């Protein structure tokens, strides 16, 4: 049972959901989505947000029914051993997402800022920072999510600079792609929203958790608006052929930013983006550590050290574009399956299980 002093207010779910959805993926999501959706990719952004909202609704239906986290729910429905085994899959998913985020950010720093950076040292310093944050408990993690949402907000104003050179007629004609193409674009866009599955672990840490559902949806809406804003600017600024050569289209947009006190704004932007990456990693590692603590009775501090060591080793090993792409594909497929297939099936099974139990009584 979670103590009241360890819980956070319901409105903080707004920041927890939004902070986990906006991270390293927003720096280069456009190229992946536009491959299938072309100039209609902005529709895929909205469609993906609607689907994510539906999944959040299903998550809350499941969590409100049992009033416990996903590990305990699975143990209750499937028994101790099968439930624990399924819990390990969720933990693996969160660790994979952590490695994907950290290795991608390390690559961006290496390519855009310091080409001769020592990856071992940089990743180690980042791991130490994460450990320091996580030792403060979940309330500190929630606070980092708040800061990681509010402080870097000024960065979005810099994307107004490319508007001068943006041709909104590039958005026309609307819906000139097939349903199959739009479906693939929506699937690819959904990858950028992944990570909100951590709600399955921190749900018991929310005061009056049922009342936090609206804040979760508001957080998702804010994420949708930001992705939509960037997608519209990208479609108007780049041609589809140009975009195929830009791995990080969002960073490329910063090249046009001209300020009297700085020549290359992307240096400041990437540095400031640490405040968005940190909540991502902290929340995912916290969820993984909390999950392992529920599967095996080990103190969280020991679990944290083990997880962070695994993340560090995998981050070093997964350096390089090909390996990072492979990691992205694996974590994306696993995340999509767990959230968009397994969770709806689990929720339906839970409903039937509850009804049968009531009849027996």
Task: Return all residues near 184 (Cβ < 8 A) that are at least 6 apart.
Answer: 36, 37
Task: Record the pTM.
Answer: 0.92
Per mean pLDDT, which of 57-61, 105-109, 258-262, 272-276 is the most reliable?
A: 57-61
CATH number of domain containing 139:
1.20.1740.10
Residues 182, 191: Cα–Cα separation, whole Å: 15
- Supply the pLDDT for residue 56: 95
**Domain housing 354:** 4-360
31-32-33 Cα angle (round to 5): 95
- Supply the pLDDT for residue 1: 73
DSSP 261: T
Residues 234, 253: Cα–Cα separation, whole Å: 8
Three-state SS for 8? strand
Helix (H) or strand (E) holding 200, with range, is: helix 199-202
- Better-scored residue on pLDDT, 93 or 240: 93
Name the domain count of the chain: 1
From the list 201, 193, 211, the residue with the least C-alpha distance to 70 is: 201
- Supply the pLDDT for residue 12: 94
* Arithmetic mean of pLDDT over the chain: 88
Three-state SS for 7? coil
Q: What is the mean pLDDT of residues 116-122?
A: 86
| pLDDT above 80: residue 298 | no
From the list 176, 178, 181, 162, the residue with the least C-alpha distance to 232 is: 162
Three-state SS for 263? coil
Residues 270, 105: Cα–Cα separation, whole Å: 9
């Amino acid at each position: 049972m979670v103590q009241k002093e360890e819980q956070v207010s319901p409105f903080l779910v707004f920041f927890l959901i939004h902070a986990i959805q906006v991270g390293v993926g927003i720096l280069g999501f456009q190229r992946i989505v536009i491959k299938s959706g072309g100039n209609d990719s902005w529709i895929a952004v909205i469609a993906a947000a609607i689907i994510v909202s539906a999944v959040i609704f299903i998550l809350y239906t499941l969590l409100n029914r049992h009033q416990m986290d996903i590990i305990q729910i699975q143990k209750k429905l499937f028994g101790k051993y099968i439930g624990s085994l399924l819990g390990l899959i969720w933990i693996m998913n969160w660790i994979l997402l952590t490695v994907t985020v950290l290795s991608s950010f390390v690559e961006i720093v290496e390519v855009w800022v310091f080409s001769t950076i020592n990856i071992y040292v940089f990743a180690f310093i980042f791991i130490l920072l994460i450990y320091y944050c996580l030792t403060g408990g979940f309330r500190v993690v929630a606070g980092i999510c708040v800061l990681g949402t509010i402080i870097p907000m000024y960065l979005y104003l810099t994307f107004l600079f490319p508007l001068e050179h943006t041709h909104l007629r590039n958005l026309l004609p609307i819906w000139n792609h097939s349903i199959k193409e739009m479906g693939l674009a929506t699937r690819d866009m959904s990858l950028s929203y992944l990570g909100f599955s951590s709600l399955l672990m921190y749900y018991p840490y929310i005061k009056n958790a049922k009342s936090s559902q609206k804040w979760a949806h508001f957080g998702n809406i804010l994420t949708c608006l930001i992705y939509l804003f960037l997608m519209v600017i990208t479609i108007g600024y780049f041609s589809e052929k140009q975009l195929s050569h830009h791995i990080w289209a969002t960073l490329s947009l910063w090249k046009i930013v001209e300020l009297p006190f700085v020549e290359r704004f992307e240096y400041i932007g990437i540095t400031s983006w640490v405040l968005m990456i940190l909540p991502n990693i902290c929340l995912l590692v916290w969820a993984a550590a909390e999950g392992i603590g529920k599967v095996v009775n080990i103190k969280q501090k020991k679990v944290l050290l083990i997880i962070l060591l695994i993340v560090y080793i995998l981050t070093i090993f997964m350096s390089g574009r090909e390996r990072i792409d492979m990691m992205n594909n694996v974590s994306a497929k696993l995340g999509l399956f767990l959230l968009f297939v397994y969770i709806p099936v689990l929720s339906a099974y839970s409903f039937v299980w509850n009804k049968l139990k009531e009849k027996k009584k």
